[in-house]
Chain A
Amino acid sequence: MPIRISRGTRLIRAVTLLSFTILLAWMLSTRIGMIPPLGHLTNPWQGFWQNMERDGIPDLVLDADQLRSTVTVRYDERGVPHIFADNDYDLYFAQGLVTARDRLWQVDFQTRAAAGRLSEIVGPDAIDYDRAQRRLGMMYGAEINAASMGSDPRTSLMVQAYADGYNAWLEQLRPKDYPVEFKIFDSEPEPFSPLTAALLLMNMSQTLSAGTRAHAQTNARALLDEDVYRLLYPDELPWTDPIIPPDQNWDFDPIPPETPNPGFVPGIVRDLPLPEPDPGIGSNSWAVDGSRTASGYPVLSSDPHLSVNLPSIWYEIQLHSTGSSLNTYGVSLPGAPGVVIGFNEHVAWGVTNTGSNTLDIFEIEFRDDRRTEYLHDGQWKPVRQRIENIPVRGGEAVTDTVLYTHHGPITQTSGDNVAPNRFPAGHAIQWVAHLPDNDILLATYKFNRARSQGEFESALRHFTNLPQNITYADRDGNISMGHMGLFPVRFFGQGSYISDGRDPAWDWNQFVPFEHLPRTFNPERGFVSSANQAPATRSYPYYLGRSYYGFSRGARINQILADSQDITGAFFEEMLMDSRSLHAEKFLPFLLSLVDTDSAPDESPAPEPPSGTATTATASHGSEPAGSTPDQPGLNSNGQPDHQQVVNTIIKMLEEWNYTFDVNSPVALFYANWEQRLLRELWAPLMDSTDRYIVRPAVTTTIRLLLDGEHHVIPADVPETVNRTFWKALEEHVRRHGPDPADWHYGRDRTVRVGHLAMLPGFGRDDFIASGRPETINATGSTFGPSWRMVVELGPDVRARGHYPGGQTGNPGHPGYDRFIDDWAAGNFYDLLFWRSISDAPEQTASTLILQNGNR
């Protein structure tokens, strides 16, 4: 029975409801904080549902006016595009297009992050990050890079063609086709330009060469007595097997370095949070010549270690151009043309990070608070200002004025205003990535086309402002290793501590000539290798730095290679998965000699029984009666966890352990946790003694000091700390993983994760099983690891195998998104299909993309 309601009330009711509905619709169409606009996102016609894709890649034909001719892209079963073109423009056009097809969002996001433009997407929360990026001179460096690229016709063409292809793909996308991350962030893709490629390369530079320990070392040196400092932070790490074999003769007249004015003492830096070199960033690469291989031809391996994310930092690709006799396969960086690590029919190359000083910190003396002039070489020189404009989503754009000296930008991080009430010694940086004449792209261009050692050598001359160790092997039987890049001629110690911005002796006045760089060619021992360790012995006349990686990976690699003959690619695949730790090998026997199994602390509580029944006793001594029932290991006759038995089992396991971090190892994780705890506790008194920023002495230094009995420099009581941490680690291990060693499994018990690039929950891959540890050849940490593993067997018929933890497609809605991860974790390598021509192995084509010009 309808109730009589007055017309007025009805109207008000209706209007209220409609207003509410419009408000609701508006809220569902707008991003609120980080909550995506749910109306757009869940709309089956245009939202994330449109990103759900079945397996495989559909065949496609596209028209593009800019193409000179037709390009055929054959995708193989794993989604790797093999591009067949007849000229360079079409080739790189196609590379840009297929990269956009698979990794559009990744390129967009990474270049935004590099440029310090995340606030535009994320909002005010990202302002600090963006400001820091601007002050690091990321955009500044990219502009220099882009100008460099434009100045050579080859790289200019490469980048322009790549941009055209990328944009061609972008232009035919409708909003419903955008990658799902754009829908989640409620943003849109941007066109690609040469500056985008330059930003991508700056991104790589930031990862690889923007770290410095100068401030930490300066603080530590000021804090400690000189002899103690030398012991805790030696110039050379112990047991290092340098990259260039020690018997190398240096056959040149070195350029002498400048002599600095004596008496410069850096002001103590309390809080200058510049990026630290990341311990996970590193790599291995090695090659053996025919004297040690079964085939008589060289074999090469390369595995760069980076943070492992989805989409993967690498994108496999083959580039074939009949017009320029180019046929190369390897991994590319989405956002830059060319193949970065890979091979062609004649040569193969690999890359590792150097660890040499690439970013110096300069103390700057300003004339006054206005900071318009600074002192250099006895004169007041003008400070340049660069206005950085940071757009902010949902707010006003932020302007930041970055001060530039001739060294580089002043990088005081955000959160500060130009302090009105104190006169800070602002620090400037000088970074190799800012140097003009950046030719890295040209080097890549030439690597891809090199057919001989001579041609590769000429390519290496262009490898300038992103220093790396380059491994080389060719089918003529040559192998080589070079520590390549632009390195200033330094006096001893320069750059490893804070530099004097006033004294021109500290400037980067000259660079080590190409011919003087540490190189080795076809060494007698028949192999070359690098694992981020020191490039050479003290006999090398130039000073390059001190923050190198320790001996553990490099020595292990050399150990294996020195002892091996009849090597094949399969052997290198096993080597890449090797997880034997030389740290543990040196350290553990010493530690075990100190552990006193009767010294269990009184207050250590009994490990919890696995059944969850309440324990009556909360304290136990290590001297429980050994009345354990044989059928229940780890439990005594009362069904309670038998503390003593667990201890005995662990000690026995440690004694018998082969120091490998294999997935099945029951005791590896215990050792890892114990060692981690021990290192922290040994140095805790030092770290806690100051509020200055310092870093702990290196693991290898610590081990060496302990083995050599130099306990007096260790601020903690060594035997006491060893035992205390042993018991704590034991207690925690049993609490987490149960008292039964049969349940302990390194792979299952530790956390390894491949996260999404923007850390979207659910878009990564959590918790899978992998062996390894950062100090072993298989350097898989919890979020770092070998981001690409490649083995190449040179010869008349080059063969290669490889894998990476991800998938070719960057679409989380496609089954191929994370397909390679399990094989990568398990050490299963794929054949890299290297086709010699467009008609080679047609049965291996899974999908075809034709790019043509309709007008021709």
Chain B
Amino acid sequence: MFPIRSAIPLFLLVLLSALLLQLVFPWWIVVVIGFAAGVLSSLPPWNKSLIVFAAIGLLWFGATLFITFTESAVLLPRITALLQLPSQWMVFALTVLVGALPASLASLGSSWLIIR
């Protein structure tokens, strides 16, 4: 199975492992996953990085949407005011960025590390 050579399996692997591991570990486990993705796949580094970004980003975005629609949204304007963001959508954007960016950077870095 390893190294993963194509995009979709990598995407799915990153997404599923994040989904499961985040139930147990703190948020930075996505950074570890990103690092691992960089090592375990032989795709070009920037591609891997983008896939990781998309996977984590989509996962986190999906989770927030799910929560917002099954629970209630009353906390959103409060967090928006607290973090001094210009709009409630920025809360989603910030969330996605916080998860996806470090993870994708980690995968890029680990990719560069292993290239021979």
Contact = CB atoms under 8 A, between A and B. Distances in A.
Nearest to B27: A43
Which secondary structure characterizes the binding site on chain A?
A: helix
14 contacts: A10-B112, A18-B109, A20-B105, A21-B109, A24-B101, A29-B26, A29-B28, A39-B26, A43-B26, A45-B63, A46-B27, A762-B78, A763-B82, A812-B78
A55 B75 contact: no
A194 to B, nearest CB: 34
B102 A52 contact: no
A699 to B, nearest CB: 36
B109 A52 contact: no
A686 to B, nearest CB: 42
A21 B23 CA distance: 22
Interface in A35-77: 38-40, 42-55
A535 to B, nearest CB: 44
A516 interface: no
Interface string A1-38: 00000010011011101101110110011000000001
Interface of B: 22-23, 26-28, 31, 35, 60, 63-64, 67-68, 70-82, 84, 91, 94-95, 98-99, 101-102, 105-106, 108-113, 115-116
B72 A39 contact: no
A17 B105 contact: yes
Given A18-B110, A24-B105, A45-B27, A39 B98 contact: yes
Contacts of A184: 82
Given A14-B113, A25-B31, A813-B74, A49 B26 contact: no
Looking at B27, B76, B111, B115, the one whose CB has the most chain A CB atoms below 10 A away is B27
Interface in A771-817: 812-815, 817
A180 interface: yes
Contact of A44 (B35, B60, B84, B112): B60
A29 B112 CA distance: 25
A419 interface: no
B112 A13 contact: yes
Nearest to A28: B98
Given A44-B60, A44-B63, 9 more contacts: A17-B105, A17-B109, A45-B22, A46-B22, A46-B26, A46-B27, A49-B95, A761-B81, A813-B71
A762 B82 contact: yes
A389 to B, nearest CB: 31
B112 A52 contact: no
B111 to A, nearest CB: 8
A614 interface: no
Contacts of A812: 74-75, 78
B72 to A, nearest CB: 5
Nearest to A35: B83
A45 B77 CA distance: 20
Contacts of A813: 71-72, 74-75, 78
A118 B51 CA distance: 44
Contacts of B99: 42-43
A745 to B, nearest CB: 25
A17 B111 CA distance: 11
